[in-house]
Structures are given as structure tokens and as C-alpha cells.
Amino acid sequence: MKILHTADWHIGKKLHKHELSKDFDLFIKWLCKTILEQKIDVLIVSGDVFDLANPSSEARKQYYRALMQLRKLNCKIIVTGGNHDSPAMLDAPREILRELDMHVIGGLPKNLEDAIIPVSKNGKTEVVIAAIPFLRDSDLRTANDGATYEDRLKAIRKGIQNTFFDAAEICGKKFPGVPALAMGHLFAAGAETSESERDIQIGNQAAFNALQFGEYFNYIALGHIHKPQKLSAAVPAYYSGSPLPLSFSERKDEKRILILDTKKGWTPESLPVPVFRKLLRITGNIETLKLKLSVLEDHHELDSLIELELKEEHYDAQKIYELDELATSFKTAGYEIVKHRADFENRIKGAAEIYGDSRQLEDLKPKEVFTQLIAEHHYDPETEKELTAAFDELLEEVQQTDKNPE
């Protein structure tokens, strides 16, 4: 049996307000071709299907179009929700999709057995998949789990471990002797992140040790981290990474999907995803920027997106004006400057300047603002930890709330 592992599609994602819908359409076209060529039996998507909990109507249409394209390939499809997804929104068409041999697990079911999916081939169960979605705080902790910061972290880690152990026990009892695979969407200790992942489970402080997955599952198919990588675990555990670069920090990552052939074993083959759009970060003084932009050659594929960074030794308001002029007047077919900023080496910036005109609102993360504010007060370390933990939990709750459109 051949299984294709991918994750973190982030349908509806905008990169500095630039739509990436065309990129996703090209990825799905390539994915369908790959599934046919590789004779894939099962496609698993480990969370963050959408970029927002309340995606736009266009993003939802794109999701269903993708599912219908994939459905034509006679490939079983299993999708789990991530921290960006609304469990209720993903789960809503669950019964209809199941009739089409698509299993969508948006949030942790009340009965964990509902997340255990056997996969058959030629009338025989070849593998069983524990489709575990992103585990929210309410799934992991109770009111009796302790009040201190460290107690909460331990309770979350223990809750994640218990969920995977319980899933393993169900697989063993219901499908003895059948190979088992687990899906998960979480932040594991030691994983290398990029700029585009959102902090989860108390600001990533509850990093889960991959050894706590145990030894039962033959493979752990993970989502959340956008950089493809292998974890140090007792069994093969991999982040497939996002198929598309979702921030400029990912511009050099080799995007990929992972393919398992259970006849050969449980070490996946890595298959690179084609580059549909280039992300360029151009840095230097004003003269260097002008030169580098002037030598770009026209092309007619998807526009290459440019992040322009002016680096000068001394502050000069005239240089900022020239940078703005350079960005607004730039016209080269096949390229678009989506962000520009200035960095002066010999200037100490105050807090007000850090969050002033030199940074756009979209560049600021709530955690950055909170950290800057809390730094202005003189709290003892334990109080600062408690305040930070409370902020992280509130932020996580806000980000995960399923906001109904008015």
C-alpha cells in the first residue's frame, strides 16, 4: 500500500496581502498527477487545511474543488484539522464526504474510536490510521491539573501523550497485528520553525518530546511545522512541511511531499514539489537595490514576490524617501514588490520607533507587542511567567474561536 503524507495547505493564505490561490491550484494539479503516477492508495493531510478559522467563500470553494479533483483518482482521503482550522467548519460536511470515501476529523471526537480509520485493499485491512487532529487546551487539561505555569505545561504534554497512547490501545485491540500510522498536528521539541507558524499550546512552551509518541505506531505523520524535517523518535516521525512557501523565511526550503510504500518499510521517500513562484529578498544600500532591481529579467510565470530591505550605516530620511519611490515606481513584468523596509545600523531605536512608521501593522505579532509592554514593568520572574502564560492562552483561544460571519 502506498500512502502520501502532506500537511499545512493554508488555503486562503495571503503573503503580505498577495493572494496565493493560483499557487495552490498549481500544487493540486501537480498532486493529482503525482497520485496517478505513483499509484497512491491513501492521501493524508495532517492539519491546517485553511489559513483562517473562518475562511472566505473563495477559500472554501477552492477546498471543495481540490477534494473533488482528488476524489476522481480512486484514492482514499483522510484530513485532520490544525490549529488554524475551525473544527466545526471542517466537520460540518463529514457525513457526506465519508460517503465519498473521504474522512475529515476537524476536532478531537468525544469517542476516540471515531478517529481510528481502517484502510483496506483487495478486501483486507492493510493499515489502520489514527487521525488525531490538533489537540486544543480543552481536550488536554481539566480544572484540577494545577494552577502554576509549569503544572499547566506538564498537563498539556501529558494530555498529548495520553491521546496517542489511547489511540494506540484502540488500534491494538480492534485491529491486532495490523500496521498502524498516527497523524498529529503539534509543536515537537527540537523542531525548526519558520516565521509563518502560529504559536500553539501556551506559546510553544509546551513543546512535546517526540519520544513520548511511544513505540506502537509504525509512522507518525505530522503537521504544523512548515520546514520539512525528521524528528528524533522511537519510530519514524516526520513533518512533511507545507507544500508552498508561506513566508520569506521559507524561500530557500525545499518543499516536498512524503510517500510511504508499506511493502518496503516505514521510511518515507521525499518527493520535491515544483517551484511555482519565487520569493526574493533583496538587501543592500540604495544604490545596490537599484542595481539589483534593474537587472531582473522579465518572465511570464506566476509573479516573483520581492521583499526589499534597505541597509544603511547612518539614518537618513532622504534614503527612506528614495526607498519608497523605488518601490512604488518599480515596473518589471513578472515581479512585484510586496514589502519594503529600512534598517540603519548606527541608530538605537526606542520602543515607539520600533512600532512606528518603519514597520507595517501586518508585520507585528500580538506576542511582540505584549512582550514590549510587559518589559516596561518590573515584575518578578514568576509573575512574568504567569502573565505570559495567561496571555498565550487568551491569544490561543481568540485565534481558535470559530467566528460566525455576520
- Percentage of residues of the chain with pLDDT beyond 90: 67
User: Per-residue pLDDT for 337 more than 50?
Assistant: yes
Quickly count: other Cβ atoms within 10 Å of residue 218's Cβ. Answer: 17
Mean pLDDT of 16-32: 96
Among the ranges given (73-77, 157-161, 284-288), the one the predictor scored with the smallest mean pLDDT: 157-161
DSSP three-state, residue 68: helix
User: Per-residue pLDDT for 289 more than 80?
Assistant: yes
Q: Residue 49: pLDDT band by 50, 70, 90 thresholds?
A: very high
Mean pLDDT of 246-269: 95
User: Per-residue pLDDT for 402 more than 60?
Assistant: no
Mean pLDDT of 286-302: 91
Residues 6+ apart with CB under 8 A from 383: none
Residue 404 confidence (pLDDT): 47
Phi, psi (deg, nearest 5) at residue 7? -170, 170
Going by DSSP bridges, is the β-strand pair 237-239/229-230 parallel, antiparallel, or unpaired? antiparallel
Mean pLDDT of 171-183: 97
Residue 363 confidence (pLDDT): 60
User: Per-residue pLDDT for 375 more than 70?
Assistant: yes
Residues 6+ apart with CB under 8 A from 353: none
Residue 351 confidence (pLDDT): 47
Q: How far apart are CA 21 and CA 101, in angstroms?
A: 26
User: Per-residue pLDDT for 406 more than 50?
Assistant: no
Residue 297 confidence (pLDDT): 87
Q: Residue 315: pLDDT band by 50, 70, 90 thresholds?
A: confident
Residue 405 confidence (pLDDT): 47
User: Per-residue pLDDT for 163 more than 80?
Assistant: yes
Count helices and strands (H / E) in the chain.
Answer: 11, 17
Q: Residue 401: pLDDT band by 50, 70, 90 thresholds?
A: low
Q: Residue 345: pLDDT band by 50, 70, 90 thresholds?
A: confident
Mean pLDDT of 389-395: 79
Q: Which amino acid is at 307?
A: E
* CB-count burial class (<10 Å; 0-12, 13-18, 19+) for 156: buried
Residue 203 confidence (pLDDT): 53
User: Per-residue pLDDT for 74 more than 50?
Assistant: yes
CA angle 49, 52, 55 (to 5 degrees): 85
196-236 pLDDT, tens digit each: 666 665 455 567 888 989 999 999 999 999 999 999 999 99
Residue, of 43 and 404, whose pLDDT is higher: 43
Among the listed residues 146, 137, 149, the one whose alpha carbon sits nearest the alpha carbon of residue 386: 149
Mean pLDDT of 170-199: 87
Phi, psi (deg, nearest 5) at residue 239? -90, 125
Q: What DSSP string runs through 345-387?
A: TT-PPPHHHHTSTTS-GGG--HHHHHHHHHHTS---HHHHHHH
Mean pLDDT, all residues of the chain: 88
